[in-house]
Amino acid sequence: MTSWRPALAPSVVLRYDAVREADLLIMPERVVVLNGQAASIVELCDGTRTVDEIVAELAGEFPEAPVAEEVPEFLGRVQKEGWLR
Amino acid sequence: MTEKPGIRHSAPQEPAIRHSAPQEPAPLKPPPPWAMLAELTHGCPLHCPYCSNPTELISRSRELATADWERVMAEAAELGVVHAHLSGGEPLLRGDLVAIVEATERAGIYSQLVTSGVGLTEARLAELVAAGLHSVQLSVQAGDAAQSDLIAGKRSFAAKEAAAALVRQAGLALGLNVVLHRHNLDSIDDIVALGVSWGVERIELANTQFYGWALLNRAALLPTREQLARAEERLNHWRERLDGIELIWVIPDYFEGVPKPCMGGWGAISLTVGPDGSVLPCPAAYAMEGLAMPNVQDHSLRWIWEESAAFNAYRGTEWMREPCVSCPRRDLDFGGCRCQAYAITGDAAATDPACRLSADHHVIEELTRSQGDAPFVYRSPRRRSVPVGGVDRPAL
């Protein structure tokens, strides 16, 4: 996990849906609706940042939130689904 | 058309990662559609007898122009469509496919090409990728070349193999679609092996849905119950062992006793635009006489989705009668498929005869006991139209 630099799988697109006012992960045959915080995590998954770096950036942005526990756990779940690599 | 069984759609899954659901405003208007099946043409180099296109194929001369499709994509995005399946027939027959993909991408809609693979050259694919194409669903008719070509009615397996390699090289997501029936259900192992060797991410094992040409060929295509049981055993075998390939099983609704949740509900999730611009709540609705399908050349997509009689006819549960109206499953399967109810009973508001609670379920049960050795009627634009269905008409 420490050296992993998460990036969206090639066929997965992160998009804001203005009609539903929701952030979406779009992929073949499936749409996943994200909440606001989830999208701000996924936005940082561009293959250049390690998980620690993503956590550090989000900790600065959301000082009140338990990002150190929740973000790695979330990224692990999304990776398990195959949407992050 | 070669790949989509009539009633598959891109259902948004119950979101796996959702903390607070986005709230829809009060339901004065129907929720927006997620997906659009764009049947760009009914022309196709293949002749698959299981095709769900109507037996009266729309001729090439009646097809929408490029500018029409560009407008449809913009209107679809504005309405809330996030997925477009560019299908047919064979969409590669459209000389303006690149322009249509560009318009889809420009509108912010995720595009998937649904193709037989015939005519997909390296240069054409490069143009499509540059235009913004995201993924490809490739049809194959069986796990081996000879059987695949026999079912397709055309030598096409080699072209499909080449197309699969090109799509993988281009780095696009590749899914395989195999429509299942009596003549290939025993080769699930071969199909899975093919998917593995072609590097696909997803295999749709889509049991034939009986509409259009498939309904005409029903006697030749219906499997036996034993065949289905063996196939499901192989499906479960591979689901436990395959890593990295998703196996999707589209249910053989004639055999389940429970109807499919057709389209996720009428006018609920998805819409189909035909080659001539007619807009349908379900790709099989061409055959519904008495329900005029609106056309994008006369109305906006928004008016069609929200206001048209066709889309409101079977929306929600108001239209239901017994046994549907008091059924605990009515919000799960929506009374099944309206087009199938119409095709078999002549009444689109009847319970889908695939349901064991339908008064007409015996018709389906008798069909599933029949021994099908009828020859294929291969799909062809030259064939005269053939009336189908009806309990009081001779079985096909």
| Phi, psi for B138 (deg, rounded to 5) | -105, 135
Determine contact: B79 vs chain A, CB below 8 A: yes
Positive or negative CA dihedral for A21, B268, B283, A33?
positive
Q: Reply yes or no on whether the pLDDT at A25 is more than 90.
A: yes
CB contact under 8 A, A33 and B15: yes
Nearest-angstrom CA–CA distance, B173 and A10: 7
Quick: pLDDT tens for B193-208.
999 999 999 999 999 9
pLDDT at position A2, please?
73
Interchain pair B20, A35: CB under 8 A: yes
Band (pLDDT 50/70/90 cuts) for residue B328 is: very high
Contact, B83 vs B112, CB < 8 A? yes
Which of B171, B154, B226, B165 is CA-nearest to residue B194? B165
Interface contact A19, partner B, CB < 8 A: yes
Predicted structure pTM score:
0.90
Q: Which residues of A touch B201 (CB under 8 A)?
A: 11, 28
Q: Distance (Å) from the C-alpha of residue B388 to the closest C-alpha of chain A?
A: 31
Q: Do residue A11 and residue B201 have CB atoms under 8 angstroms apart?
A: yes
A15, A29, A77 member nearest B10 (Cβ): A29
Whether B389 shows a pLDDT value over 60: the answer reads no
pLDDT at A72 over 80: yes
Residue B5 has pLDDT above 90, yes or no: no
Q: Is A31 helix (H, G, I), strand (E, B) or coil?
A: strand
**What is the mean pLDDT of the segment spanning B84-104?**
98
Cβ of B22 and A81 within 8 Å? no
Give the residue with greater pLDDT, B20 vs B353.
B353
Residue B242 has what pLDDT? 92
Please state the ipTM of this predicted complex. 0.91
CATH fold of A13-81 reads Arc Repressor Mutant, subunit A (1.10.10)
pLDDT digits 0-9 by tens, B23-48: 544 557 999 999 999 999 999 999 99
- Give the residue extent of every domain in chain A: 13-81
Residue B131 has pLDDT above 70, yes or no: yes
Task: Give contacts of B 309-368 with A, CB under 8 A.
Answer: none
> B111 phi and psi, to 5 degrees?
-110, 135
Three-class secondary structure assignment of B104-147? HHHCCCEEEEEECCCCCCHHHHHHHHHHCCCEEEEECCCCCHHH
Q: Residues B86-95: what's their mean pLDDT? A: 97
Instruction: Identify the weakest region by mean pLDDT among A34-38, B10-14, B161-165, B305-309.
Output: B10-14
A81 in reach of chain B (CB within 8 A)? yes
Residue contacts between A and B (CB atoms, under 8 Å): 81
How many Å lie between the alpha carbon of A77 and the closest alpha carbon of chain B? 9
Element (H, E) at B246: strand B246-250
Q: Which two tokens stand for residue B44?
A: 């196709």
**Which residues on neighbouring strands pair with residue B210, listed in sequence order?**
none
